[in-house]
A and B are shown apart, each in its own frame.
Chain A
């Protein structure tokens, strides 16, 4: 394992801002894994830390193919994690809206450029990312529906679901999109949480990456059994929306299978405790996403089913 500084800038009163990468193998740039890019992405950081531990072991046991190089960057934004701020500390900009970056531009453009110049030539790119709303997901792989990545490769992770999502205007400045512009097959991994560590889904993510690496021949890894993925489009997800704002009380958990008409959550009046609204399953299915804040707003898709 080789530890290397991917990018560094000096701080005025803080220690230097450093992005650190861990390199395994000395061959062709084969796989790059990127963890937290925002200050609340603790689970994403944790997943990468577990991967660094695992790949270090694989390297020591000579189970990484000699002609491949794997780079893991657990954290692209230590400044924001250390201050528990989601976006860049001074100007609140999002590094994941700055790709491919610009070396003479503003700070987060420079950071994005510093990262991207080091990782753009890898054959595969995996990013642990998070949703803008607080909530829990069924672990899954996402890929954009127009681009260089493909569903067959996404299924090699053996995650329960592969989600194809429609490209939106803001996507053009994300890492995933730009990786594909530079001919890297890019995939986003969603584990169940963001700002809290969930060891079970982190373990599932680590396993899925090992499975992927085994499948493309990067590592020797023993695993039994099939791990089929269900492929869906984000347009197929059924949103269950609130009509009222209030206290959100879930009645089911992510991953539960429910019949049509099953009560899924209640919106409680914050003053008198009365139930203002009950959300019901519009059809039979599985809970894919569940809002996790105790407060919810009206007109919000608090639950997504598949």
Chain B
């Protein structure tokens, strides 16, 4: 069943519709729990598209095992997805900074309010992101410290490699996930892969995780895989940020999710015009690289990668 959650007429002969697909369990008499899979808030992040498709396919194949409602929202920002634009085109707005929205506000705020109203009340929500076009991320769940007690136990069933509990920030109070968690609907933010691309193995990994989470919550009785035991980081000092010391072209030497020793070369920043190596980017600690630069051009300060320190991996 496909339903329009929010809509608004555009200036010339087009209606903007935000749609969801609802998959209902067969013959349920009681009111079942609901899981919502949301993606596409940023129009340049596509990893969640495959997850929506593959999850629905596997559920439909074993429909008798479904004991809950599955709502799939593949495109929260259809105009952004269509125009390869991260924000909402024409408004130059990051859609993930306008929640909880406002039914009395402008078009974007109205859409946000209607979306939030529709998703609210789910037993759990997964908001799937794909980093951006500059960085590749290992499948991970990010949790605001304010909501960790409720969310970490759920995240551990999602088959991700890493759970990152980050500090609360006033700026993040206007995100979709914060608005839901603040209002009592648990929402897990998934980050994986890279913008404008689909990494099928990450998608498959997350689909296994979503089915595992549904099983844990009593919404799925089908076979599930034992989830990976994620590394959980909750101290700011667990993560080491690597920023470019110089503008140039970043050429990596290592792969994503590679274990590194202090001093190992992660890559070089080079100048193709002069032929000079501007910086040898070296690992400042022993650890594992969970974020790596994908887009080669860097400015001074551009993020090259993030390392999780060895001590955290061992816990």
Q: Which residues of A contact B (CB under 8 A)?
A: 9-13, 86-87, 90-92, 97, 104-110, 132-133, 168-170, 172-173, 241, 244-247, 270-271, 295-301
What are 29 A-to-B residue pairs whose CB atoms are below 8 Å?
A10-B247, A10-B300, A11-B299, A12-B249, A12-B273, A91-B132, A97-B171, A106-B243, A106-B301, A107-B299, A107-B301, A108-B301, A132-B91, A132-B92, A132-B93, A170-B97, A170-B174, A173-B171, A245-B9, A245-B11, A247-B11, A270-B12, A295-B11, A297-B11, A297-B107, A298-B8, A299-B8, A299-B105, A299-B106
A172/B171 in contact, CB under 8 A: yes
> Mask for B295-312, Cβ within 8 A of A = 1, else 0?
001011111000000000
Which of B86, B299, B301 has the most CB atoms of chain A within a 10 A radius of its CB? B299
* B110 located at the interface, meaning its Cβ lies under 8 Å from any Cβ of chain A in the complex: yes
A169/B11 in contact, CB under 8 A: no
A270/B97 in contact, CB under 8 A: no
B301/A300 in contact, CB under 8 A: no
B95: shortest Cβ distance to chain A, in Å? 13
Please report which residues of chain B, range 102-161, place their CB below 8 angstroms from some CB of chain A when the two chains form the complex: 105-107, 110, 132, 134
Which of A11, A97, A110, A297 has the most CB atoms of chain B within a 10 A radius of its CB? A297
A296: shortest Cβ distance to chain B, in Å? 7
A169/B303 in contact, CB under 8 A: no
> Mask for B38-70, Cβ within 8 A of A = 1, else 0?
000000000000000000000000000000000
* Contact with B9, one of A92, A105, A298, A301 (Cβ below 8 angstroms): A298
* Contact with A10, one of B13, B171, B174, B246 (Cβ below 8 angstroms): B246
User: What residues on B are CB-neighbors of A298 within 8 Å?
Assistant: 8-9, 107
Q: Which residue of B lies closest to A300 (CB)?
A: B106
* Contact with A107, one of B249, B271, B300 (Cβ below 8 angstroms): B300
Whole-angstrom CA separation of A271 from B247 in the bound complex: 49
A106/B302 in contact, CB under 8 A: yes
User: What residues on A are CB-neighbors of B9 within 8 Å?
Assistant: 244-245, 298
Whole-angstrom CA separation of A10 from B297 in the bound complex: 13
A304: shortest Cβ distance to chain B, in Å? 12
B300/A110 in contact, CB under 8 A: yes
B86/A301 in contact, CB under 8 A: no
A91/B107 in contact, CB under 8 A: no
A245/B10 in contact, CB under 8 A: yes
* B173 located at the interface, meaning its Cβ lies under 8 Å from any Cβ of chain A in the complex: yes
* B209 located at the interface, meaning its Cβ lies under 8 Å from any Cβ of chain A in the complex: no
A270/B11 in contact, CB under 8 A: yes
The 8 closest A-B pairs by CB, nearest first: A107-B301, A169-B173, A299-B107, A107-B299, A110-B301, A245-B11, A172-B170, A9-B300
* B74 located at the interface, meaning its Cβ lies under 8 Å from any Cβ of chain A in the complex: no
A26: shortest Cβ distance to chain B, in Å? 32
User: What residues on B are CB-neighbors of A300 within 8 Å?
Assistant: 106-107
User: What residues on A are CB-neighbors of B273 within 8 Å?
Assistant: 12-13
Whole-angstrom CA separation of A91 from B301 in the bound complex: 12
A86/B92 in contact, CB under 8 A: yes
* B78 located at the interface, meaning its Cβ lies under 8 Å from any Cβ of chain A in the complex: no
B243/A105 in contact, CB under 8 A: yes
- Interface range for B: 35 or more
Q: Which residue of A lies closest to B178 (CB)?
A: A169
User: What residues on A are CB-neighbors of B107 within 8 Å?
Assistant: 297-300
A169/B243 in contact, CB under 8 A: no
Whole-angstrom CA separation of A105 from B244 in the bound complex: 9
Q: Which residue of A lies closest to B44 (CB)?
A: A92
Known contacts A107-B300, A107-B301, A244-B9: A169-B171 contact under CB 8 Å: yes
B302/A90 in contact, CB under 8 A: yes
B300/A91 in contact, CB under 8 A: no
A246/B11 in contact, CB under 8 A: yes
B8/A106 in contact, CB under 8 A: no
Q: Which residue of B lies closest to A267 (CB)?
A: B11
A169/B299 in contact, CB under 8 A: no
Which of B93, B249, B271, B300 has the most CB atoms of chain A within a 10 A radius of its CB? B300
User: What residues on B are CB-neighbors of A271 within 8 Å?
Assistant: 12-13
Which of A170, A244, A271 has the most CB atoms of chain B within a 10 A radius of its CB? A170
B26: shortest Cβ distance to chain A, in Å? 39
Which of B106, B171, B303 has the most CB atoms of chain A within a 10 A radius of its CB? B106
Q: Which residue of B lies closest to A12 (CB)?
A: B247
User: What residues on A are CB-neighbors of B243 within 8 Å?
Assistant: 104-106
Q: Which residue of A lies closest to B132 (CB)?
A: A91
* B193 located at the interface, meaning its Cβ lies under 8 Å from any Cβ of chain A in the complex: no
User: What residues on B are CB-neighbors of A10 within 8 Å?
Assistant: 246-247, 300
Q: A9-B300, A11-B247, A110-B301 given; name 16 further pairs at CB < 8 Å.
A: A10-B246, A12-B271, A90-B297, A105-B243, A106-B243, A107-B302, A108-B301, A109-B301, A110-B300, A133-B91, A169-B171, A245-B8, A270-B13, A271-B12, A298-B9, A301-B106
User: What residues on A are CB-neighbors of B10 within 8 Å?
Assistant: 245, 297
User: What residues on B are CB-neighbors of A241 within 8 Å?
Assistant: 106
User: What residues on B are CB-neighbors of A301 within 8 Å?
Assistant: 106
Whole-angstrom CA separation of A246 from B8 in the bound complex: 12
Whole-angstrom CA separation of A107 from B244 in the bound complex: 9
* B248 located at the interface, meaning its Cβ lies under 8 Å from any Cβ of chain A in the complex: yes
Whole-angstrom CA separation of A87 from B134 in the bound complex: 16
User: What residues on A are CB-neighbors of B132 within 8 Å?
Assistant: 91
Whole-angstrom CA separation of A247 from B12 in the bound complex: 9
Whole-angstrom CA separation of A241 from B110 in the bound complex: 12
